[in-house]
C-alpha cells in the first residue's frame, strides 16, 4: 500500500471518528446518490425552488406540524415492524437448529454425569434434613424489635446455606473419584459449576425473602407470598442456569453451535412466557398490596408513589421482560452476557438497598431506646432523639433510593456513575450533599448535648437543686441557643450546597434594621424583658400580678411572660404592656390574720386564742411552712358591729395561702371552744325621746278595721346617749 492510499485511509478514519464529519459525509453521499441527470438539471432545479418556496410558506403552520408528527409516527411504526420482523427471522433461524441435535452422542456425554448429579442432590437433601434444626435454632433467636440482631442471624443462616452448597458440590467431586477413579471430566465439571452458581443465587434469593423462616425475614412479604415468589423465581433461575452453563455447552460439544442455540432459544422462550404469565396472573394482587397503605388513609410520599406504581407496574414489568427477550434474540452471545451481568448487578443493588431501607424503617418504627439510668438523668433525651433521628434516617433512605436507582441505570449502561462522579458537577454534588448531611448531624448532636445539659441542671434529683432564677436563666439560654444554632446550621447547609450566603446575610441585616424601626413594640418587649431578668423580678413558678392579671409564671421568655391564673386560664402578656410587677412569692411570704369579734369580748382573751391557734398550727402539717414566730399587732379596726384584731406569720414562698386556710380553720374552732362570739351584721333602731326623757309610744295597725294599738314601755328609760338606744318592748 502506497503512502497516498495510507494517507487517504487515515483521513477517512478521522472523518468517521467524528460525529459531525461523519454526518456531513453521509449528507454528501446522499446528495450524490440523488443528483439528477444533465438533461433534467433545469427542471429539477426549478422543482426544488418551488418546493423550497412552498416549504417556507408552510413552515410553522398546523398542517406542516401534523405532517411532521405523522411522518415521525409512520417511521417509528415502520422501524418497529422491521424490528419485529428481524426478531422473527432470528427466532426462526435459532429454532431451525433443533434438526442438528445429536441425541445419542448427547446421551453418551451426559450419562457419566448422572452419578455425580445423584451424589450432589442426595447430599444436598441429607444436609437440608440435618441442618433444619440449626436453621430453626437461628430463627428462634430472632427478636421482632431487634433489626441488627436479626441481620446478624440472617448472615449466619446465609453462611450455613452456602456451606451446604459447597459440601454438596464436594460430594459430587468425591463421587467422581469413587465411580470414575479420577477427578470430574469436562461435562461433570460443567454440571458442578452450574450447581454452585445456581445454588449461590438461590441462597441469596432465600436470604432476601426467607420463605421458610419468617422470623429472619427482613422484607415486607407474607409467608404465602414469600414461598410463592421464591418457588417461581428459583425455577426460572434453575432453568436458565443449568441450560446455559451445562446443557447448551454439552449440546454444542456433541452436535454443533446451531443446535446449542436452538436449545437456548427454547428455554429462554419458555422462561419469557412463564414470566409474562406470572406478571399477568399477579397484577391484581401486587396492585392491591402496593395501594394498601394509601387506601388505608396513609398520605405519605411513599404511599403516594406506591399508589401510582400500582396502576402502571404491569406495563413496566412486561416491557422490561420483553426488552430482555428482544435483546437476547438480537444478540444471543453478547446480549446474554450483558443481560446476566446487568440483572445480577441490579438484583444486588435492589437487595442491598432494600435491606438498608428495611433496617432504617424498623429503626424508625422502633425508636432509639435510652438506658434507664440515662433516662433518669435526662428525662426528655429519648423523646428528643426519637424526634430528630427519624428525620435524619428519612434523608438517608432517600439517598439510598437514589443510589440504588443510579446503580440500576449504571448496570444497564444508561448512566455512567463513575464518569459522572469525576466531573466537576458530580464532585460538587457529592461533596455538597455529604457536607450538608454532616453539618445536620453535627447540629443535631450539639443541640442534644446542650439541651441534655440544661435538662440535667434542671433535674432536682441529681446535683444541686436549681433555684427559680437558675431555671429561668437556663430556659432562656436554651431558647436563645436553639435559635442561634438553627440559623448557623441553616447557613452552613446552604453554603455546603453551593448557595452563596453573602446576599442572605446582607439581606438579613437589612431586614433586621427594618424590623428594628418598624416593630418598636417588639424592641420594647425585648428591652423590658432583659431588664426584668437582670433585676431578677420574677422567675418561673412565681405567683405574680402583671398588667392586672395574677397567676403562676409558667413560661418566661425575653419578650413575654405566660401566666396561669387560678381558674386555669392561660395568659400571654408582652413586656411592653407591663408597667408594674407584683411578686407574691419573692424570698418569703406573709399571711396576715384578721380576727373579728363582738364588742363585748375581751381583747386579751382574743389575743390568747389567736396565739393558741398558731401553736396548734405549728404542730400540724403546715407547721413546716412557717418560718418565724407569730406577731400580734393588736386592734386594727373598730367597725359598726365588730372589732378586728390583726396578727401576722411569715411562711415559705407561695405557702401563705395554704397556711392561711389552715389557720382560719383552727381559729374558728378555738373561738367556738372559748365562747368568743364572731358577730353577725347588726342594725340598731332609735325612735327618739320626749322632753322628759321618756320614750314615745309606738303606733302600729294590725289591719284596716281594727283600732290602732298603742305600745307603751313597761318602764321609762332616759333617752339614748352615744351609741346606746332604747329597744321597744312588746305589750304586757
Q: Is a pLDDT exceeding 70 seen at residue 115?
A: yes
Q: What is the pLDDT of residues 566-578, one digit of tens each?
A: 888 899 888 878 8
Task: For residue 678, name the pLDDT band (cuts at 50, 70, 90).
Answer: confident
pLDDT of residue 40: 47
Task: Return the beta strands (E) in 432-569 as ranges.
Answer: 543-546, 549-556, 560-564
pLDDT of residue 75: 59
Which DSSP category does 216 fall into?
A: G
- Judged by phi (left if over 0) then psi (alpha if -120 to 50, else beta), residue 687 lies in alpha
Pairing of β 698-700 and β 643-651: unpaired
Q: What is the pLDDT of residues 642-670, one digit of tens each?
A: 899 999 999 998 888 899 999 999 999 99
CA distances 472 to 400, 534, 551, 553, Å, are 44, 11, 17, 10
Q: What is the pLDDT of residues 593-611, one digit of tens each?
A: 999 998 888 999 999 999 9
Task: For residue 354, name the pLDDT band (cuts at 50, 70, 90).
Answer: confident
DSSP line for 540-597: TT-EEEETTEEEEEEEE-SSEEEEE-TTS-EEEEEGGG-S-EEETTSS-EEEEEEEEE
Q: What is the pLDDT of residues 134-174, one digit of tens each?
A: 988 988 888 776 767 787 888 888 899 999 999 999 998 89
pLDDT of residue 384: 72
pLDDT of residue 76: 55
Distance CA 223, CA 449 (A): 44
Q: Is 710 helix (H, G, I), strand (E, B) or coil?
A: strand
The mean pLDDT value of the chain amounts to 77
Distance CA 633, CA 636 (A): 8
Q: What is the pLDDT of residues 264-319, one digit of tens each?
A: 888 888 988 999 999 999 888 888 888 888 888 887 767 887 888 888 888 888 88
pLDDT of residue 217: 81
Q: What is the pLDDT of residues 82-99, one digit of tens each?
A: 555 555 665 665 556 566
CB of 578 closer than 8 Å to CB of 560: no
Distance CA 675, CA 600 (A): 12
Distance CA 429, CA 637 (A): 84
- What percent of the chain has pLDDT above 70? 73
Q: Is 74 helix (H, G, I), strand (E, B) or coil?
A: helix
Q: What is the pLDDT of residues 607-640, one digit of tens each?
A: 999 999 999 999 988 889 898 889 999 999 888 8
Q: What is the pLDDT of residues 401-434, one digit of tens each?
A: 888 888 887 877 777 777 777 778 778 878 888 8
Task: For residue 107, name the pLDDT band (cuts at 50, 70, 90).
Answer: confident
pLDDT (mean) for 13-29: 63
Amino acid at each position: 500500500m502506497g503512502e497516498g492510499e495510507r494517507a487517504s485511509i487515515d483521513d477517512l478514519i478521522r472523518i468517521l471518528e467524528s460525529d459531525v464529519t461523519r454526518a456531513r459525509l453521509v449528507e454528501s453521499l446522499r446528495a450524490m446518490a440523488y443528483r439528477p441527470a444533465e438533461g433534467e438539471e433545469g427542471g429539477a432545479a426549478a422543482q426544488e425552488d418551488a418546493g423550497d418556496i412552498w416549504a417556507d410558506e408552510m413552515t410553522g403552520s398546523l398542517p406542516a406540524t401534523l405532517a411532521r408528527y405523522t411522518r415521525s409516527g409512520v417511521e417509528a411504526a415502520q422501524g418497529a415492524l422491521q424490528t419485529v420482523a428481524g426478531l422473527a427471522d432470528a427466532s426462526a433461524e435459532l429454532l431451525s437448529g433443533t434438526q442438528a441435535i445429536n441425541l445419542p452422542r448427547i446421551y453418551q456425554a451426559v450419562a457419566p454425569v448422572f452419578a455425580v448429579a445423584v451424589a450432589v442432590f442426595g447430599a444436598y437433601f441429607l444436609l437440608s434434613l440435618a441442618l433444619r434444626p440449626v436453621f430453626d435454632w437461628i430463627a428462634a433467636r430472632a427478636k421482632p424489635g431487634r433489626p441488627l440482631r436479626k441481620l446478624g442471624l440472617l448472615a449466619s443462616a446465609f453462611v450455613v446455606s452456602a456451606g451446604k452448597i459447597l459440601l454438596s458440590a464436594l460430594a459430587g467431586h468425591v463421587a467422581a473419584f469413587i465411580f470414575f477413579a479420577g477427578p470430574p471430566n469436562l461435562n461433570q465439571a460443567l454440571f458442578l459449576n452450574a450447581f454452585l452458581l445456581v445454588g449461590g443465587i438461590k441462597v441469596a434469593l432465600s436470604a432476601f425473602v426467607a420463605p421458610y423462616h419468617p422470623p429472619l425475614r427482613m422484607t415486607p412479604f407474607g409467608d404465602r407470598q414469600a414461598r410463592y415468589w421464591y418457588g417461581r423465581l428459583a425455577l426460572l433461575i434453575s432453568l436458565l442456569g443449568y441450560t446455559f452453563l451445562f446443557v447448551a455447552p454439552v449440546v454444542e460439544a456433541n452436535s454443533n453451535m446451531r443446535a446449542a442455540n436452538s436449545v437456548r432459544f427454547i428455554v429462554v422462550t419458555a422462561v419469557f412466557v412463564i414470566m409474562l404469565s406470572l406478571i399477568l396472573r399477579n397484577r391484581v394482587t401486587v396492585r392491591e398490596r402496593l395501594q394498601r397503605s394509601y387506601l388505608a388513609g396513609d398520605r405519605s410520599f411513599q404511599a403516594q408513589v406506591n399508589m401510582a406504581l400500582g396502576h402502571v407496574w404491569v406495563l413496566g414489568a412486561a416491557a422490561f421482560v420483553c426488552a430482555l427477550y428482544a435483546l437476547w434474540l438480537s444478540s444471543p452471545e453478547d446480549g446474554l452476557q450483558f443481560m446476566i451481568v446487568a440483572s445480577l448487578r441490579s438484583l444486588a443493588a435492589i437487595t442491598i438497598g432494600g435491606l438498608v431501607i428495611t433496617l432504617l424503617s424498623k429503626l424508625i418504627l422502633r425508636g432509639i431506646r435510652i438506658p434507664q439510668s440515662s433516662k433518669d438523668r435526662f428525662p426528655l433525651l429519648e423523646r428528643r432523639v426519637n424526634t430528630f433521628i427519624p428525620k435524619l434516617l428519612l434523608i438517608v433512605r432517600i439517598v439510598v433510593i437514589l443510589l440504588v436507582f443510579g446503580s440500576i441505570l449504571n448496570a444497564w449502561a444508561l448512566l455512567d456513575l463513575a464518569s459522572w462522579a469525576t466531573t466537576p458537577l458530580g464532585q460538587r454534588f457529592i461533596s455538597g450533599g455529604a457536607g450538608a448531611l454532616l453539618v445536620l448531624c453535627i447540629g443535631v448532636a450539639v443541640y442534644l448535648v446542650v439541651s441534655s445539659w440544661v435538662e440535667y441542671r434542671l433535674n432536682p434529683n441529681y446535683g444541686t437543686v436549681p433555684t427559680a432564677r437558675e431555671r429561668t436563666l437556663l430556659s432562656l439560654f436554651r431558647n436563645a441557643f436553639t435559635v442561634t444554632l438553627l440559623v448557623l446550621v441553616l447557613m452552613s447547609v446552604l453554603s455546603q450546597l453551593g448557595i452563596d450566603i453573602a446576599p442572605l446575610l446582607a439581606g438579613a441585616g437589612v431586614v433586621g434594621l427594618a424590623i428594628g424601626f418598624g416593630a418598636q413594640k417588639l424592641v420594647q418587649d425585648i428591652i423590658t424583658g432583659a431588664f426584668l431578668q437582670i433585676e431578677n423580678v420574677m422567675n418561673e413558678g412565681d405567683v405574680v400580678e402583671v398588667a392586672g392579671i395574677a397567676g403562676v409564671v409558667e413560661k418566661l421568655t425575653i419578650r413575654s411572660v405566660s401566666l396561669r391564673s387560678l381558674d386555669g386560664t392561660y395568659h400571654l402578656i408582652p413586656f411592653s404592656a407591663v408597667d408594674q410587677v407584683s411578686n407574691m412569692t419573692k424570698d418569703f411570704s406573709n399571711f396576715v390574720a384578721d380576727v373579728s369579734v363582738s364588742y363585748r369580748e375581751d381583747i386579751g382573751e382574743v389575743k390568747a386564742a389567736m396565739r393558741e391557734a398558731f401553736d396548734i398550727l405549728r404542730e400540724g402539717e403546715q407547721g413546716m411552712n412557717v418560718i418565724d414566730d407569730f406577731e400580734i399587732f393588736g386592734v386594727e379596726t373598730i367597725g359598726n358591729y365588730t372589732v378586728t384584731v390583726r396578727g401576722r406569720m411569715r411562711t415559705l414562698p407561695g405557702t401563705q395561702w395554704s397556711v392561711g386556710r389552715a389557720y382560719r380553720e383552727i381559729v374558728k374552732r378555738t373561738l367556738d371552744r372559748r365562747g368568743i362570739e364572731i358577730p353577725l351584721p347588726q342594725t340598731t333602731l332609735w325612735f327618739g325621746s320626749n322632753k322628759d326623757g321618756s320614750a314615745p309610744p309606738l303606733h302600729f295597725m294590725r289591719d284596716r278595721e281594727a283600732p290602732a294599738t298603742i305600745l307603751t314601755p313597761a318602764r321609762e328609760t332616759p333617752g339614748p346617749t352615744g351609741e346606746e338606744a332604747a329597744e321597744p318592748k312588746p305589750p304586757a
